[in-house]
Chains A and B, each alone.
Chain A
Amino acid sequence: MKFRIIAAVVLAAALATVASTATGSIKRATAQSVTVWVMTDAQNGWPGAIAAANAQFQQQHPGVNINIQYQTWDTVLQKFDAALAANDAPDVIELGNTQTAKYMAAGAFSSLKAKNFPNSSTWLSGLKSSCTYRGKLYCVPYYAGARAVIYRKDMYRQAGIKKLPTSYAQWLADGKKLMKKFGKNPNFSAFYEPGQNWYVATTFVEDWGGQLAVQQKNGKWKGTLDSPQAVKALTIFKSMVRKLSRASKSVDEAHPFPSIPFAKGRMASFIGNGWEWPYVFDPKGGAAPKSFAKKMGAYPMPSHIKGKYMPTFLGGSDLGIPISAHNKALGADWIKAFTGTQSETLIAKAGNIANTTKLANVNAHNPALAPFARAAKSSWFVPTSPNWTNVENSHLLKQMLTAILTNQKSVAAATKSASKQITTILNASS
């Protein structure tokens, strides 16, 4: 009997709330507001930058509601597609710099004038080109990230490595020394490389002069992972992984984050982003003690050409204004506030690379982050075809790597079929 009463009360309350939320949403739509979709990375990593941008925007537009709706990478594109189909898009949306091309080509964004945005003359060229389609600008660079080797100084020392390697050959020799010293532990990797981390594999390909795909004179794309340079690079990569790494060959670099097994002493090094450094100490992550920092270091991955670095993948994000946004002018103003020097400084300090070269030295005196900025000076980027993101979405590069590393396919066979698929996807009409 008691339960029945409680149930009745709960139900009545529920219905009342439904009614109120339903009416509430209609009212709110009439008030001036700007709706922003940015990834939860900002929420967790640099909330200060959002707060600063909001404060600045609020000064300019008092009374306008700022509606920040944090999104996750898993579902944002599905939501965005549905919203585009229903003319219901937000006023600002963050997309990864490998995803923008597809949406720019399909006409999803309104075009912008670079000079209206702060620091546009000094934007990172890599990010700026990910926002440019047929000579027009469709989004604003947000931030970039570069990868470098994060390593254990103490282990290197114990294995008799006196100075950091300056060439790939030396780097590989050092790795073998580490395996000799610590390899008896079945969990130990001298260099931890989750098999599907295609950013690292492609870094090898680029270093040996190969490319993922090239655009031919007739405008058609051609997958080129089966070029002699790429095959050579992947063969070297495979033998390296099989010698130095005991990471899973069927997962990418997010499962688990290498920083966790790193904190547990399961590896001497891995290639990671700047923000993975603090993650080693996160009590919910690696949970390493503060003193562990003394044992950690970072350096850019050395190239097979002595004295050079391997080019790193320049990942990053851009901010665009959807074609069907309701308040485009407000959206633009919010982007201006968020990509201004003040916010970008905070974003860079969180372990990223700011969108402008003016802020290149923000982390120069931070021993943890400086090597990442150095690594970023030599970088590669994915093919600029609008269809590239479909290649990523099909995960064929990850599957190719798993097939190669687990000996299911030879490097030649795996790259040949991957190149063929890439050619097909890149040339498909959108």
Chain B
Amino acid sequence: MSSRSPAAAAAVPEARISRRPRRPLVSRLRSGAAPYLLILPACVVIGAVLGYPLYFMGHLSLEHYGLFQLIRHQGEWIGLKNYSQIFHDGFFWHVVLRSLAFTAAAVSLTMVFGTLIALLLVQLGTKMRVLVTAGLIFVWATPVVVAVAVWSWMIDFEFGVLNWLLTYLNVGNFNHHDWFASTLSGWTVITSLVVWGAIPFVTLMVYAGLTQVPKELVEAATTDGASSWRVFRDVTVPLLKPIFVILISLSIIWDFQVFNQIWLLLDGQPPPQYFTMSIYAFTTSFQQSQYGLGSAIALVMVAILLIVSFVYIREMVKIGDAE
């Protein structure tokens, strides 16, 4: 099996690794400066672009830094005051909960629909599969700025096609339906947009994984009398676990930081009920000119993200650490 596909495995199940003898190259190249020289360029780029900015952001979060200070390049040191202000702010905790709820909803919807469509692809004949794949690729290729433009055009209050269509299909009277008038329907639009844009990546990755599941295993399980659900649960899912770990981690990271979709859909002026953490950090910095406070919010956001995705990150590090 292992040598059938020449290039394989972004994520190798550990069970398989342990059976393998060590590679000769690894042992020979074990010591020396070679690996450091190899990662050096990447580290230099990341360090040059992010090193000082991250230090700057940390510093900023301990300062009172408004427009006045910005123009004079000189903040006022206030220690942890920004943080205590955040932690005592009820609205902030609302935003945190909202971001978490949105992330949970968007990630699970993306994973469920993405996987279902991938399973559907397996069932299809070649022509149908190419058609659906092509459609998915079109969606994937659509830049977020473009997607938001199209969606806001579709839900336009006066001339939007969606309101007309829903009315026409007798779903209800959607003439002049105001999608952002109620928070729930507004979030429905945002979530749909995000999930719609994220499905293709998930589907294509899961489908790629599904095609790699050995047919013999599935057949053996089926002849043993297992239902197709059990085959999926007991054979397919464990084999695809590395893929799911990566997809879920990335989805959590991306959805928790969601910004562009909400920002552009609401025309750069989202009302507080549409604030996620990154929007809160951004408006605090740029619209209220409280750069210190904004940086503190952003750093707290990173911390929360680390906590939320800890389990998955640990899995990822394990996968990455294995050879």
Q: Report which A residues bind B (CB closer than 8 A).
A: 74, 77-78, 81, 84-85, 87, 102-103, 105-108, 186-187, 246-251, 254-256, 260-261, 266, 323-324, 390, 393-395, 398-399, 402, 406, 429-430
Contact = CB atoms under 8 A, between A and B. Distances in A.
A249 B176 CA distance: 10
B229 interface: no
Given A81-B286, A84-B71, A102-B67, A248 B269 contact: no
A393 B269 CA distance: 8
B257 interface: no
B234 interface: no
A256 B159 contact: yes
Contacts of B159: 256, 260-261
A430 B67 CA distance: 7
Nearest to A109: B71
Contacts of A87: 73
Contacts, number: 86
A266 B181 CA distance: 21
Interface string B143-179: 0000000000000111100000000000000011010
Contact of A430 (B272, B286, B289): B289
A182 to B, nearest CB: 15
A133 to B, nearest CB: 13
Which of the four size classes fits the interface of chain B?
20 to 34
A102 B289 contact: yes
Contacts of B176: 186-187, 246, 248
Contacts of B180: 250-251
Contacts of B73: 85, 87
Contacts of B68: 105-107, 430
B271 interface: yes
A182 B178 CA distance: 22
Contacts of A255: 156-157, 267
Give the residue among B67, B180, B283 with the most A Cβ atoms within 10 A.
B67
Contact of A395 (B67, B70, B269, B289): B269
Contact of B283 (A81, A108, A393): A393
Nearest to B273: A399
A107 B286 contact: no
Nearest to B67: A106
A181 B287 CA distance: 45
B286 A395 contact: no
A247 B157 CA distance: 8
16 contacts: A78-B286, A81-B289, A102-B289, A108-B71, A248-B157, A248-B158, A248-B178, A250-B181, A255-B157, A256-B157, A256-B159, A261-B159, A266-B158, A390-B288, A430-B67, A430-B68
